[in-house]
Structure 1
């Protein structure tokens, strides 16, 4: 098969949502439709002890949340679908932002009861920055939720995108009857079924068909009115508008009951983009270029704690990745080859001999990789646009067992390499300060240090406002600033100077006092500054 044929077979996307909107449940249903799993356990149902296929860390299973991006591949209708299930919890938003750089489209899950929530807006803003095509799935329509027209208005106004419903709920809550597929003019009647696939559909091309009254009774006239209103208010769906990130098709359903999901999945495989070009510091890389390129967007230690795995997740951007072939690690300027590259189905992984644009490959890593690293067949270039933000919460890492100092040092280095948190070292006393965007990350780090590395620790709050990376052309002024502010100067894990500003007021004052120094709120300080 040619490179272009391999590219056109692939769709790579992420599922994103606010916590508890049903994202992980929807992920399982996609795997069910793709035949990757035979039955799906309801995530919230205590009677079913099987946990979500994509939640593979112990703490995720205990808390019922996703805190790490899972990578899964499955086949559907002759296509290879690469699905990235992202953390929903806001404390792990940075992991989700990075994941969005590795996909070509997104499915956004919205809770029909709660509507658009704060995290939904933040995630959508990242999609809008890249004009990423978005499909919206309004979940939980079998509960007493919001009026669907009100939800559509809210989606447009709060997410800053035009929408077009392609399926429509027939009533909601206890009287929910099913969904009408506006695109294919077919009716699917609701049947609560959490573990199997529902196939029965009734084709109704003309809504005046008396069969509609027989099937949904008193709700038939309301459906006719709703469809008339939709046709009059919303423009016809155009694939090109969707691919440009200007128009989001909307589907309604119940992920936990496998309902309304297949209509969306069938539309997704038809309209979602194949692997797209990616920007670098040299030029845009087209997927059909013959030479391989790819970048690391996630690192995860201990996917299998028994074997101390450290996996770098690489998105293939062009050409063909091959097992045991030497590739150029651009940052380190050295050649690396990989004997056991893997693709993933949540916890299970399979060694692959080759991978193509759009694929996500897991590379066993001994410490060579950082997030954002680029691999090529020789060309020196760096993929761009992987966001990294200043932490919002800072705490000092305190070792509770001096006999385990080496384990603690190794553990905190590996865990911060994953990008869940940032590590800063104060030269005096080698004190370690960990910065995150949320409290939950400290709980996860503490748990994993103890259970994966055997190191016990605690975190003591530090009163800092922002981490500011420092650059200047006046080294003398920088040294003066570092001497005056010695108690607030640290190094990140790459040895870059960082000023931990105690407050906005003091930060503003230092920027006035030292105009020769640039203060950056992102670790990508070589290309991004702060106004």
Structure 2
């Protein structure tokens, strides 16, 4: 069956969850509308989502339009939960971006649209809440064209906006103004269409332009704008039609090897990990044995597919569908299921979390249970990056904002019965190489206590290029498992550089490799104490890599956001000095009617302080938005972060902690 995977994205409170509920009601999946305020919607299934009236985790519902299965993914709108949006973008064929007809384009709307345009994801824009007092769809459409993208075209008009009688009427094919808008917009993106118009403008009939609109919308060249109300249902039928008419509909192949990607993890009441998998090829059947992640084989013990707003058990799931798969063991978000997907799978679309905090249990005796609980929450949201410092056993997590902290606190209390508090939130920094460095330790040569030879060279990589691992030795010089152990340990070790921050954008080359093959006594007994194992390489690599990093040198850099601030003209003189005191550096200040638009840069650690100060300074009229832009070297003394592993910068302590344990373990085998 044909399928289309559609994400519902919006700034918080634009009404996307209510719109999802209305879509399900309109297509006949549900008989009664749920309410966000009452906590009765289908997609906000977590108790905390119902209590707070916000979406925290992405949710999937499915319904059929004609001969097309529509998989609808409702995502969070609050910026603290942008990681949930991150994880679904790679699954989508198209997007419905919801904008309130009252509030208009908001900060998160702009962040989302910039990302959607960069990814060339086909996007329909739905102006919601046309029935609300203060709704002004025409103003919002102009705002969309000015602040999101000029490549938009309204598909209808709204009668009686701002009242419960608001109606959305599509433009008729014979409307000359509508046809002129279509012609001007579409010919700007299609030279063949323009040439056709120049030869004979009569050839660009309404039918021809409608077809061109659909084709260009599916290629993300233009973005149709629809309007309506999730509460009254006005305009929703037109949106349903647009999902299959204006977004790319796929006919995926069910033949060939099964391939899918895990984009969400939940736990069943029995504690089993359940994987949300988007199938891109082939078919998965019950009891199939499939490759999962990095080299594991798992047996599928249960399949649930999304159908008519819920899930049903199934014997198989085919390409194009989204399913819940049971039995995949320690599966993680991002893992391939079946054949490995083609193309990049770890691309980041939004900035990583810029804040972190220490989680403190109310009872010291709960520290072990707290770490286990947070580790389970990290299965659902890996970017919280749980880590425990070994000496004081303090547990830290990464965050996008203060609301996320409150959610973590509530989840720990509700799910695990753990009362916790938090230390003061601090800003995350990174480390970047300032030069090149190399180190090597040879097997059997003091002071190397491990049965492995490892040599590594580090050099700075391209900005934004991430960590790249290369081999400068022959691939056949030792077993592949040993190379894998070195690469995995390199990536893990780089999470904490000499100052304790993650090392970014580095190229690491393995320059030396050596091992001792399996040794046997004369009577044929395998001698474990004289045979190299992957553990030797995992324990030696941090020492070699840290020595190379120290020789290369690193500098600590802080995250810097690009901001846009719109303030009334009469308060600009008050706002600018405050921005300066908060280390925000304006780059441009432009008059914009009764307002000024200020754009510039601000350290990530100061963003929340700016947001707190602006309402009082501007009578609540400021419009502030920010997004990650770049890193810059920290001024003054570089901040350090406590390590949560055995510190390879202190060789003696590292060997006491690691080598003795490893030697004891080796002797027991």
TM superposition score normalised by structure 1: 0.74
SS at match of 1:268: helix
* Corresponding residue for residue 216 of structure 2: 241
Cα distance in 2 for partners of 1:129, 1:273 equals 17
SS at match of 2:261: strand
Cα distance in 2 for partners of 1:137, 1:378 equals 36
* Corresponding residue for residue 29 of structure 1: 22
* Corresponding residue for residue 256 of structure 1: 231
Report 1:159-308 matches (<5 A): 159-174=148-163, 176-182=165-171, 185=172, 235=186, 236-237=209-210, 238-275=213-250, 290-301=256-267, 306-308=269-271
Answer yes or no: is the 8 Å Cα contact 2:299–2:328 preserved in 1: no
* Corresponding residue for residue 67 of structure 1: 56
- Structure 1 367/403 Cα, relative in aligned 2: closer, same or farther at 3 Å? farther
* Corresponding residue for residue 345 of structure 2: 383
- Structure 1 139/382 Cα, relative in aligned 2: closer, same or farther at 3 Å? closer
Cα deviation, residue 123, structure 1? 1.2
Cα distance in 2 for partners of 1:229, 1:85 equals 35
Cα deviation, residue 51, structure 1? 1.1
Answer yes or no: is the 8 Å Cα contact 1:341–1:362 preserved in 2: yes
Cα distance in 1 for partners of 2:431, 2:254 equals 39
Report 1:107-186 matches (<5 A): 107-145=96-134, 147-174=136-163, 176-182=165-171, 185=172
Cα distance in 1 for partners of 2:98, 2:430 equals 33
Cα deviation, residue 154, structure 1? 1.9
- Which among 40, 48, 57 is matched to residue 46 of structure 2? 57
SS at match of 1:312: strand
Cα distance in 1 for partners of 2:240, 2:73 equals 15
- Structure 1 81/517 Cα, relative in aligned 2: closer, same or farther at 3 Å? same
Cα deviation, residue 250, structure 1? 0.9
Cα distance in 2 for partners of 1:475, 1:82 equals 51
Extract unaligned runs of 5+ from structure 1: 1-5, 186-204, 208-223, 277-285, 482-490, 523-528
Answer yes or no: is the 8 Å Cα contact 1:466–1:502 preserved in 2: no
SS at match of 2:409: helix
Report 1:334-413 matches (<5 A): 334-344=296-306, 348-364=310-326, 368-377=330-339, 383-385=345-347, 387=349, 389-413=351-375
Cα distance in 1 for partners of 2:262, 2:332 equals 7
Cα deviation, residue 156, structure 1? 2.3
Cα deviation code 1:324-355 (max 9, x no counterpart): 11111242x12112111222469953222222
Cα distance in 2 for partners of 1:357, 1:416 equals 28
Cα deviation, residue 38, structure 1? 0.9
Count, aligned residues:
449
SS at match of 1:430: coil
SS at match of 1:160: coil
- Structure 1 496/435 Cα, relative in aligned 2: closer, same or farther at 3 Å? same
Answer yes or no: is the 8 Å Cα contact 1:53–1:346 preserved in 2: no
Answer yes or no: is the 8 Å Cα contact 1:390–1:468 preserved in 2: no
Answer yes or no: is the 8 Å Cα contact 1:394–1:464 preserved in 2: yes
Answer yes or no: is the 8 Å Cα contact 1:17–1:120 preserved in 2: yes
Answer yes or no: is the 8 Å Cα contact 1:71–1:82 preserved in 2: yes
Report 1:404-483 matches (<5 A): 404-419=366-381, 421-467=384-430, 474=437, 476=439
Cα distance in 1 for partners of 2:114, 2:94 equals 14
Larger Rg: 2
Extract unaligned runs of 5+ from structure 2: 187-208, 441-454, 459-487, 505-548, 560-629, 633-669
| Structure 1 range deviating more: 257-266 or 232-241 | 232-241
Cα deviation, residue 264, structure 1? 1.1
- Structure 1 365/158 Cα, relative in aligned 2: closer, same or farther at 3 Å? farther
SS at match of 2:12: coil
- Structure 1 88/501 Cα, relative in aligned 2: closer, same or farther at 3 Å? farther
Structure with bigger RCO (C-alpha 8 Å, 6+ apart): 1
Cα deviation, residue 88, structure 1? 1.0
Cα deviation code 1:14-56 (max 9, x no counterpart): 1000111110011011111222211112333xxxx56111101
* Corresponding residue for residue 291 of structure 2: 328
* Corresponding residue for residue 602 of structure 2: none
Cα deviation code 1:99-122 (max 9, x no counterpart): 111111100110011111110111
* Corresponding residue for residue 211 of structure 1: none
Query: In angstroms, what is the RMSD of aligned CA positions?
Result: 4.0
- Structure 1 85/366 Cα, relative in aligned 2: closer, same or farther at 3 Å? same
- Structure 1 341/530 Cα, relative in aligned 2: closer, same or farther at 3 Å? farther
Answer yes or no: is the 8 Å Cα contact 1:469–1:498 preserved in 2: no
